[in-house]
Structure formats: structure tokens, C-alpha cells
Amino acid sequence: MKMSEMWATMGSTLASFMFLWTIMRQYCPYGVQRFFEKYTHRIMSYFYPYIRISFHEYMGDRLKRSEAYAAVEAYLSANTSKSAKRLKAEMGKDSSNLVLTMDEYERVTDDYDGVKVWWVSNKVMSPTRSPMSYYPEQEKRFYKLTFHSKNRDTITESYLKHVMREGKEIRLRNRQRKLYTNSPGYKWPSYKQTMWSHIVFEHPATFDTMAMEPEKKKEIIEDLVTFSKSKDFYARIGKAWKRGYLLYGPPGTGKSTMIAAMANLLAYDVYDLELTAVKDNTELRKLLIETTSKSIIVIEDIDCSLDLTGQRKKKGDKSSWDEDEAEKDVIGRKEAKEEGGSSGCSKVTLSGLLNFIDGIWSACGGERLIVFTTNYVEKLDPALIRRGRMDKHIQLSYCTFDGFKVLANNYLKLETHPLFDTIESLIGEVKITPADVAENLMPKSPLDDPHKCLSNLIEALEEAAKAEEMKQRSSHIKEELLQQNGSIKENGELHGDKAMNQCQIWLVNDT
Ligand SMILES: Nc1ncnc2c1ncn2[C@@H]1O[C@H](COP(=O)(O)OP(=O)(O)OP(=O)(O)O)[C@@H](O)[C@H]1O
């Protein structure tokens, strides 16, 4: 047979085959079609040097989306959306940005260690189960991975693991994060599966918007990022992949804000654990076992949540703040917690909490931070905050000029202003919290321009400076009065208002 005849015969055979195939697809029952497809594929596979793997969106009963499909989808949207020509755009979970994924029937290539693979996104319509079925035809989506059979080992042993790992990480990064709370005073019904209730976590704080010294900020960020990448390191040294942070400092210096910034930096969930609402150590254990990895477990105002006052008295420590003010603040916070919590009937003990940190905590999965906050670090039992339990102690303090500049940029979009010099000289002399600075920088009416806001702050700083001066002068007078009476006691039992009262009594007696 001549070459031209051979081509003509082959062409007409193919045309007949295509015609028959089209007729068959239209008129043959679905079962018969599947039968032909199955055997055609088998025959083809003898001559075809490529291997295909499919990742279906739903397996079996369509109840649960396949994890593998979701991981491939995330991997491809991050790695191949630049090379794909037809893309699908969907709103991201936080409704703030568009997520691009390959459109149906699109094909992209990927390169892994010099091995080329092809991904195709596909969908088929599955037939309805019965003509009376309520549901219309269902779309079955799947990704198909094709590679040369000579690369079988590389793909199955290494590339697929890489796709799954990266895909899962991307999904975790993009997931909608949650803020969990153990609702105070709430009784969990027996059918309820979890002891935590949650809402979407959408706090806008980041380290960029935090007012603190740049070097300190950098150090904390590096510490957190190093922790989050240290899975293998922790496994090698045989330690649980956990890290404890103690945040301490006066109210309004940004302890809660920093927790939100940490969660946003690492894309972690936050578990806000209200200890006063936890009945006993057993309940504490159950709550903690339910937490998931990639999370921050927060216990705020730890000094008010556990009864540590007895130990403090024994040690006779001194607060860095005004003693009376501190005492009032602790009592106020304790009362507030008890009102909100289960009326102070919590039997969680210090040893229960320590057991959790050292024992169960280490056994239940990895990648968790635990953060304690306190306004009075001196009141905490050293056992609770020793290194190994609370690995990093971070002091948050009054606003510095560097901190002010961050806030001025956040609130007024100002990097410099003629009034900055006045603020710099005042802020170094007074104790003002970032919360107070922020409040003063906030425009109070639509007419308040940056100049007005900065002037408000200068006024507040001047007032604070005056108050500071008055305080110093009065304590100086008190000291002088005490010395004049020659009765100052070396152990410092008399001080503050008590000393003033005593001086007045002495003065009255003397006269
Ligand atoms: N360092 C900071 N950087 C930026 N904003 C801050 C900072 N500190 C405080 N703020 C502002 O002040 C508000 C109160 O701060 P935050 O609740 O974080 O303080 P806190 O130290 O946790 O106080 P408390 O001890 O009373 O709980 C925040 O909403 C934030 O706007």
C-alpha cells in the first residue's frame, strides 16, 4: 500500500471512530460508556509512557471535602497562578483580598528538582442517581497530575509530600483564624462537643503598629519566627514544641495588643483562658487538651486569677508602683473577674497550673505559645515564671519618643512635624502609657487636624509633668517632716499617706 493510501485509510478510520464515539456518547447508557472508557484506557496504557494521578474533591458520599484535593488546590493557587492563563477569582476568607486559582480545564506545568510535571484542573458531570432525584447533575471536580513513568519514585516519594506539606501550610496561613473563650459561668450541655466557644479573630494589631523600641520589637519578632520554624530542632532536643511568654507592665502599655500582634504574625488562633471560670484542675486539663496546634493560649492578669497573695506577703516584696494604687487595682481586677466568672469558685491551684505546663502541656501536640500577662510581676510565684516555663519575659513600659512616632504615624499619618521636638523633650520626663498617647492623638471631631491632636497631647504631657512634680514635691515634704521629727524608721514601715497622717498627728502633738 502506498503512503498516501495508508494516510487516507487511517484518516477515514479515525473519522469513523470519532463519529461512532460521538454517537455512542449521545445515545449509549452511562454504564456502557464507562465500560468502553475503561478498556480504552487499559489498551492506551500499554503504549503511553506517562503516569496520571487524580485528586478528587469529594470521595464517596460527598460529605467531606478531600484534604488532599484542598492541599493541591492551595499549592497550585500559590505556585502556578502566575503561569496559568485562565484563572478563577474568589473572595478570600477575610473578604479583603481575591484568591486566584486555576480555572477548569486549565493546564500548568511545575518543575521539581529538574523533573517536569503537568497539572490539569478538570470536572465531569456525574449522572443523577435516579430520574426522580431532587438534585440536579453534580459536578465532580478533580486535579490530574501527569508525569513520565521514569520519574515515578521522585514524584511518589518526594514531590507529592512536598505538594501536601506546602499546600497545608498555605491553607493554614490563609485560614480564617479564631478567638476561643471558655465562657465564664456557662454550663456545657452534655451534647456539646467542645468546652470552648469561638468567634472569628480579626484584630488589626501588628508589630508595625506597636509602639515600642525598634530593637526590642525586632528581637521579639525574631524569637517568634525562630520558634515557629523550629519543629525539627525541638524534636531533636527532645523538648515539646512550646514556648512561654510573660508580658508584664503597667495597664495600657500594650500587653493585649502584643498578643494580637503575635497571633497575626504567626497566623495562630488565640485561646483566651479565663482561669476564674474554670471549676478545678480536671476541667483545666480538659480545656487544654482541646486546644489545637498553631495557637496562643492566653491567661491575662495571672496575678488575679490564682491566689498568690499569701506567698507574696510571706516574701514581703515591694511593688515597683505605688503600693496602695497597685493594691486597689488588683482588688478591682479580681472583683471584675469574679463578677464575670463563676463567682470566684474556681479551685484551680498553682500546682495544677504548673502540672499542666510541665506535664500535659508537653504531651499534647506541638506549636503552641502560652502567654501570661500581669501588671505586677513581683506578685507572681517565681516557680510559675522561671525559665523553662515562661521562657521569655517581656516588659512593656511607658511611651518613649520612638513609640510616640509609631503612634503618630498610625493615627495621623505623620512622620515629622514642627511640634515633635516639644513632644520629644516632654515625653522623656513623664510616665505616660501608649494607651494615653493614643487617646490624645485620636481626633475628637472632624475638624481636628494633626496640629490640634498634637497640641492635645502636649497639653496632656504638660499636665502629667505638673502632676509628677507635685507628687515628688509632696513626697519630699513628707520625708522632711519625718526627718524633722526624728522618727523615720529604717525598715520603711511608714510611708505614703500613712506617713503623712502620722506626721500630722506628730505636728499636732508637738504644737
Ligand atoms: N504599645 C502599644 N502600641 C500601640 N498601641 C497601644 C500600645 N499600648 C497600648 N496601646 C493602645 O491602648 C489600648 C489599650 O492597650 P492594651 O489593652 O493592649 O493594654 P494592656 O497593657 O493589655 O492593658 P491592661 O493591663 O489594662 O489589660 C489598645 O487598644 C491600643 O490601642
CB 424 within 8 A of CB 430: no
How far apart (Å, rounded) are the C-alpha atoms in residues 395 and 374?
10
> What ligand 1 atom has the least distance to the C-alpha of 375?
25
DSSP string, 46-74: HH--EEEEEEESB-TTSSSB-HHHHHHHH
**Alpha-carbon distance values, 388 to 139, 242, 362 (Å):** 53, 10, 12
CB 377 within 8 A of CB 247: no
> Which has the closest alpha carbon to 435: 200, 128, 181, 211?
211
> What ligand 1 atom has the least distance to the C-alpha of 212?
1
What's at 127, amino acid-wise?
P
> Which has the closest alpha carbon to 72: 163, 198, 142, 179?
163
Determine the distance separating the centroid of ligand 1 and the alpha carbon of 257, expressed in angstroms.
5
Q: What fold does the segment set 178-395 form as a domain?
A: Rossmann fold (3.40.50)
Determine the distance separating the centroid of ligand 1 and the alpha carbon of 2, expressed in angstroms.
88
Measured in degrees and rounded to the nearest 5, phi and psi for residue 503 equal: -60, -45
H/E stretch holding 148 = strand 138-148
What number of helices (H) and strands (E) belong to the chain?
A: 20, 13
As for ligand 1, residues whose beta carbon falls within 6 Å of it are 210-212, 251-257, 375, 434-435, 438
- Residue the block writes with cell 472583683: 335
Residue nearest to atom 17 of ligand 1 (CA): 256
Determine the distance separating the centroid of ligand 1 and the alpha carbon of 480, expressed in angstroms.
38
Determine the distance separating the centroid of ligand 1 and the alpha carbon of 435, expressed in angstroms.
5
Determine the distance separating the centroid of ligand 1 and the alpha carbon of 211, expressed in angstroms.
9
How far apart (Å, rounded) are the C-alpha atoms in residues 285 and 360?
8
Contacts of range 421-429, beta carbons closer than 8 Å, 24 or more positions apart: 422/458, 423/454, 423/457, 423/458, 423/461, 426/458, 426/461, 426/462, 426/465, 427/399, 427/400, 427/401, 427/461, 428/400, 428/401, 429/465, 429/468
Tens place of pLDDT per residue across the chain (511 aa): 566 777 777 777 777 777 777 776 677 777 777 777 777 777 777 777 889 999 998 876 556 678 899 899 989 888 776 777 777 777 766 556 677 778 888 888 999 999 999 999 988 876 555 555 555 566 788 999 999 999 999 999 999 999 999 998 888 777 788 999 986 555 555 545 568 888 989 899 999 999 999 999 999 999 999 999 998 998 898 888 889 999 999 999 999 999 999 999 998 999 999 988 888 888 888 888 888 888 999 999 988 877 654 343 333 343 444 555 555 665 566 565 555 554 455 678 877 788 777 766 666 667 899 999 999 898 888 888 888 788 999 999 999 999 999 999 999 999 999 999 999 999 988 999 999 999 999 988 888 899 999 999 999 999 999 988 888 888 888 888 877 766 555 444 545 555 556 555 554 454 3
Give the pLDDT confidence score for residue 9 in this predicted structure: 78
How far apart (Å, rounded) are the C-alpha atoms in residues 45 and 324?
84
H/E stretch holding 122 = strand 115-126
Q: Where in the chain is the domain with CATH 3.40.50.300?
A: 178-395
